[in-house]
Amino acid sequence: MSQSYVYDNRIIVSTYRDIFMVFALFVGILLSLYPGKVDPKQILEERSNHALAAIYLENMLRLEPENIELIFATIRVSLERGNLNLSEELIGVLQTPKYAYMAKEVNLLYFKVLKARFLKYKEVNKKEEANSYKKKMQELLQKASKENKFDKKDALIWYSEAIVLKDKKSALFFLKPLYQDKNIYALEQCVSFAEEIGHIKEKQFCLESLATLDGKSSEKWLNVTYSMYIDKGQNEKALEILQKLLKIDSNYNDEMARMQEITGKHKDASALYIKLYEESESKKEKKDYFFKAMNVLSFSGFNSEAIKVAQLYEDDYLNDDEVMQKILSLYIALNALDKASALSIKLLKEENK
């Protein structure tokens, strides 16, 4: 009596007696190495016995040719042993329509076979053969990304291979399920090259996701996001990011006032410059903030508000010719002649003290 099974249209025939004898022999050896029940997983984990594991699995496969777990286990062990022919033969079985539901896992195993062949030919300087397998690797990689035929758990493996093959579009696609789950490494990699390949929305998504992190890492990515919005002229979004940065560090108030001025929020900008004036201990900085608080209002047509700011602080600078000259010029330019006259009288009195 005999048994046959088909792989890639090849019929392999063996007698049950032969199978039993070979199988019994290796089970005996395995039992001596692994006392108790023979567990395929235990065998696979014992890397020093891959040769024995391969023979065991191949013989088990003869008895159970439809056992998917055995097929995958045999492929993996064969790959590690360098038996690429057997690996590829069994992968061919799994590439049939019957096993289409296993395509994601099969694709990765097949890629590993192609890579092993590529490296083998490259090592012996057979360029034509090596290039042939490199092309097959590229085609399979692109197919896996375009058809979404890869497991999320293997995404970083595919990503690394895509980077090696200089296929950044596929690399970004492999990262997608990870950066959508807010994986920090995937988000950072996305930011590093997404725009370079024309995927601006993806970069924006990744930046905004990184900006939601806590602590200094958040500040770093908030700054990058802020710069991106400024470069794109999206000032309102930039303001939103600045609000988040201010919660981390009040030193961003200067930039906030500048952005409020740019976006037409002139009264808010002036109020913030006054706040900075009050908080500063530097005479030079205080004078700077005072000028900015006045100018942002006067230049935008808020004349009465500008005059009020000037009046509020003019007494602090009666002995500063530069500030007095600017305030008097402001009063005259805005037709506040009574204010200019009153200040002139103050200055005369100050001189006569």
Torsion angle (degrees, nearest 10) of CA 207, 210, 211, 214: -170
Judged against a pLDDT cut of 60, whether residue 228 lies above it is answered with yes
Per-residue pLDDT tens over the stretch 230-244 = 988 899 999 999 998
pLDDT of residue 127: 94
Main-chain dihedrals φ then ψ at residue 98, nearest 5 degrees: -60, -35
Judged against a pLDDT cut of 90, whether residue 82 lies above it is answered with no
pLDDT of residue 284: 93
Place of tokens 């042939």: 132
Report the alpha-carbon distance of residue 288 to residue 274 in Å, rounded.
Answer: 10
Judged against a pLDDT cut of 90, whether residue 51 lies above it is answered with no
Judged against a pLDDT cut of 60, whether residue 117 lies above it is answered with yes
Give residue 12's pLDDT band: very low, low, confident or very high (50, 70, 90). Answer: very low
Average pLDDT score over residue span 274-299: 94
For 55-93, give the DSSP string. HHHHHHHHH-TT-HHHHHHHHHHHHHHT-HHHHHHHHHH
| Coil vs helix vs strand at 8 | coil
Per-residue pLDDT tens over the stretch 89-109 = 888 888 888 889 999 999 999
pLDDT of residue 90: 83
Q: What percent of the chain has pLDDT over 70?
A: 80
- From the list 209, 62, 317, 91, the residue with the least C-alpha distance to 330 is 317
Could you tell me which residue, 71 or 233, shows the higher pLDDT? 233
Per-residue pLDDT tens over the stretch 254-266 = 999 999 999 999 9
Residues 6+ apart with CB under 8 A from 111: 137, 140, 141, 144, 161
